[in-house]
Amino acid sequence: MRRKLAAGNWKMNGLGSALSELAAIAGCETRQTDLLICPPATLLGRAADTAAAGSCAIGGQDCHARESGAHTGDISAAMLADAGASHVLVGHSERRSDHGESDADVCAKTTAAWAAGLTAVLCLGESLAQRRSGDTLAVIGAQLAGSLPDGANGDNTVIAYEPIWAIGSGLIPEMAQIAEVHDFLRRALVERLGDDGDRIRLLYGGSVKPGNATEIFAVSNVDGALVGGASLKAADFKAIVAALDAA
């Protein structure tokens, strides 16, 4: 049985005053759902301290593939772990598009995350043009093959499917489209990794809100969500967690 996971990506949002929202999230009572918030790097240490009294894990939003070195402005996975993180996002579409990250880059970052003892939350997703051209599964399959190193399992890896065109747009794929991708990912993971592939949690991300969470969590092979804007407010995120708990 895979435990459910509700993860929040704050992106480039949040000052010290936002830690009150994190405190409310960390105090959320759940029966079968793990909680994860990925704040901006400036808040990592304080976020870890804030969440320590509750049940919420803290993650970074990105890491460098190297452990240390002359990489001004970058943060290594070891630094994230030292600041109190237990997870890190890798391969988010905004990193792939804004910073030109390739599948090979994401693969190297995933390996670095594992070496530092972090769980990698590996993001995959297609563009609207790729969706309309019928290439979604080919794109997702190529990203998975190129971004996920050998050795992945349910302890060191989470996979998040985020259709790029649904992120922050308010657009939601049809439930059958989400099911198609999540079922495809599960088959691909099991074929490659055996039982370890069946243990890896699959999250859906892309305009997840309290109003659509219940419907999304009823989809096969959806083990949770990677939430963007709705994770910035404790009330919204807790409503999503409640829907996941009830699924």
Beta partners for 161? 124, 204
27-74 pLDDT, tens digit per residue, is 998 889 999 999 999 999 999 999 998 989 999 999 999 999 999 999
Number of domains observed in the structure of the chain = 1
Residue 94 to residue 67: CA distance in whole angstroms: 23
- Model pTM score: 0.97
Q: Is residue 246 in some structural domain?
A: no
Token readout for 85 is 């993180």
Tell me the CATH number at 53: 3.20.20.70
Q: Is residue 155 part of a domain?
A: yes
CA distance 74 to 68: 9
Tens-digit pLDDT profile for residues 5-20: 999 999 999 999 999 9
Model confidence band, residue 1 (pLDDT cutoffs 50, 70, 90): confident
Does the annotation mark 162 as catalytic? Answer: yes
Pairing status of strand 224-227 against strand 4-9? parallel
Given the residues 94, 126, 162, 182, the one annotated as active site: 162
Which domain does 123 fall in, by range?
Answer: 4-232
**Is 247 domain-assigned?**
no
Q: What's the pLDDT at 13?
A: 98
Q: Is 184 contained in some domain?
A: yes
Distance of CA 194 to the CA centre of its chain: 22
CB 63 within 8 A of CB 36: no
Predicted local distance difference test score (pLDDT) of residue 8: 98
Residue 140 within a domain: yes
Q: Point out the catalytic residue in the list 92, 101, 126, 182.
A: 92
**Active-site residue 29, yes or no?**
no
pLDDT of 170? 80
- Helix spans in the chain (H): 19-26, 44-51, 77-82, 93-98, 103-115, 128-132, 136-147, 175-193, 195-199, 210-217, 234-246
DSSP string covering 71-87: -TT--BHHHHHHTT-SE
Does the residue 244 lie in any domain?
A: no
Unique residue bearing structure tokens 């993180």: 85
